[in-house]
Amino acid sequence: MNIPDSLEQLPTNGTRGRVYGEPYRTADGGTVIPVAKVRAGTSTPMGLFVIYGGTARWVPAVDADRIALIGVITGLLSAVIACLAVLRRPPWPDLSATSAAWRRRPRHTTADK
């Protein structure tokens, strides 16, 4: 079985979890096949199969907005956690009058002997 015959057998109706789009021929002789995942009537792009010179390779679809959102949320969470840690226990030394540094121990006097 060669590649053109196998392209005709790809499911395109979306009954399975994965849908293969129509193969496109490029100007330089390559073939591009889009792949999507179907859930609840909506499709999410997964990537492309690129066939060129008898070899096929997978090119995943990367959602840069989702990656950026994860980075922003991670930064905000770390800032909130750091603020809560500073408010709970500040990084400077405890200089309140009730701290152990201000308490005096009773001195032993020589008159008590």
- The candidate with the shortest Cα–Cα distance to 39, out of 12, 63, 15, 61, is 15
* % of the chain residues with pLDDT over 90: 24
Cα–Cα–Cα angle for 54, 59, 61, nearest 5°? 155
Q: Does pLDDT of 87 surpass 90?
A: no
E strand or H helix that includes residue 2: none
Question: What is d(CA 35, CA 56) in angstroms, rounded to the nearest whole number?
Answer: 14
* pTM for the model: 0.49
Residue 59 has pLDDT above 70, yes or no: yes
27: three-class secondary structure by DSSP = coil
Nearest 5 degrees, angle CA 53-CA 57-CA 61?
A: 135
Instruction: Give the pLDDT confidence score for residue 77 in this predicted structure.
Output: 96
More confident residue, 31 or 110: 31
Question: Given the DSSP bridges, would you call strands 18-20 and 31-39 parallel, antiparallel or unpaired?
Answer: antiparallel
